[in-house]
Chain A
Amino acid sequence: MTALLEIDRLLDDLEAGLREKLEERGVTSPALIGIRTGGVWLADVMSKRLGLQEPWGELDISFYRDDFSRIGLNPKVKPSSLPFSTEDRDIILIDDVIMSGRTIRAAMNEIFDYGRPASIILATLVDLGARELPVQPDVTGRVLALQSHQRVKLRGPDPLHIELQETGH
């Protein structure tokens, strides 16, 4: 398991997947958006690896979460910041882990409130399955099947590493 989660290899695979996808779609100047917090660290790394000139954006999806009516507002919400217009842009949306797909749904709703993008490519470092919504990443570093007592978490930003957590049971 630990070998599978070696961060440099995951980042290499994510970068290679993204390059391939961008070429396939004919996208030459994508705008990169990371979802806070892990996705923002990844946006920083991938922006450098892909040699993008433009600063990346960061999203805090707290105002778009679908569990607001159950748990209330996230007390640690921070402002989103997109230093470019999303209108007609090809976007790469990046996050550390995808599971239910709810975070991505919320993030896409938020992106559309900034304008109508031409396209969105979804990139995640780790795909844990267990989807509850029909949302699939276009590019992923690794697909993992975890035991029910296991969790993964991206730690960072310096150094970036993936942690496999064993919960109580």
Chain B
Amino acid sequence: MTATDPSKNSLQLTADGQLRHFLTLDGLNRALLTEILDTADSFIEVGERSIKKVPLLRGRTVVNLFFESSTRTRSTFELAAKRLSADVLNLDINTSATSKGESLSDTLLNLEAMASDMFVVRHSQSGAPHFIAESVTPGVAIINAGDGRHAHPTQAMLDMLTIRQHKGGFEGLKVAIVGDVLHSRVARSQIRALNELGAAEVRVIAPATLLPRDVESLGCTVEYDMTRGMKDLDVVIMLRLQKERMEGALLPSEREFYRLYGLNQEKLALAHPECIVMHPGPINRGVEIESAVADGPQSVILNQVTNGIAIRMAVMSMAMGGQMAERSRKLAGRAQG
């Protein structure tokens, strides 16, 4: 799982190893993930100024293409692009051209013809952003804002930034991901990032019906009993119960799930006393987490949201920089040749 897939690598990276799309964490090494975190640290400082804007993407056009609804992710991407001085277009595709019968490729080609420089893509189909980067509009930087059950790399990286802020690093950390791993694209990206960054142990805690087959092959250990699983944890990441993705009887009942896998103060007390509590949002209070924990002193859930803007600024400026550097190298090559 940590093996480098060269095809994904060459799609996401320029010949010089700069980011030019951000589709998945697969194939990105520790040095590059650390560079993303370090760059985001600098953008956090920008967010604390009276003018929270830098001119990096001035004159560039960023299109938020959300084929699946989202409030937090879309608004933090929008704010990130605006703080980089880009022009931003928000398209909610559910209510747009595709409902009139236009194909995905046609929609994208039209947007490209409007001189768009970057698409931020959320799609219910795994691999959609990859497909767009590879086949539809290769000259536009593509940022994956969540695709199917596959990946949600900016969410995973903002979680890594939050962990690094509170724990100083990843060495020796024991981290658990609790809940609906089966439907979670976030969990996959988190497991990948934690392993690459050198966490000591990544544990998933869930009922067997909410775990993908061969989950260990992603690089984690499995624990079905939360009371045992909470022991010695430095970080606990709760996942949202994705009710809208549930098919068939994967759960006996929400109440039963909460009793076994919901995070309350008693269960949290079993972890390391300085264990931090994370959740990608939106929270289902009383379904996967107790309000006293979500709002308690160990919760860093709102830090995650703030960090989301900085991470997205980092990834967008790095990918746009890589695209433009590549373009100008090609132009220079043509001029010489």
Contacts and interface: CB of A to CB of B under 8 A. Distances in A.
A62 to B, nearest CB: 7
Contacts of B46: 63
A156 B324 CA distance: 34
A150 interface: no
A81 B42 contact: no
- Dominant secondary structure of chain A at its interface with chain B: loop
Given A77-B38, A114-B50, A63 B55 contact: yes
A72 B51 CA distance: 23
Interface residues of A, number: 22
Contact of B321 (A72, A81, A112): A72
B35 A75 contact: yes
B41 interface: yes
A153 B53 CA distance: 31
B100 interface: no
Contacts, number: 59
B44 A73 contact: no
Given A79-B45, A115-B50, 12 more contacts: A63-B42, A63-B46, A68-B321, A68-B324, A69-B325, A69-B328, A71-B325, A73-B318, A77-B38, A77-B42, A79-B44, A113-B49
B299 interface: no
Interface residues of B, number: 23
Contact of B324 (A70, A79, A114): A70
B227 interface: no
A63 B325 contact: no
Contacts of B321: 68, 71-73
A73 B317 contact: yes
Contacts of B45: 79-81
A15 B41 CA distance: 34
A73 B324 CA distance: 10
B38 to A, nearest CB: 7
A78 interface: yes
Nearest to A62: B42
A149 B185 CA distance: 54
A20 B318 CA distance: 44
Contacts of A114: 49-51
A108 to B, nearest CB: 13
Contacts of B18: 72
A113 B51 contact: yes
B94 to A, nearest CB: 33
Interface string B55-91: 1100000000000000000000000000000000000
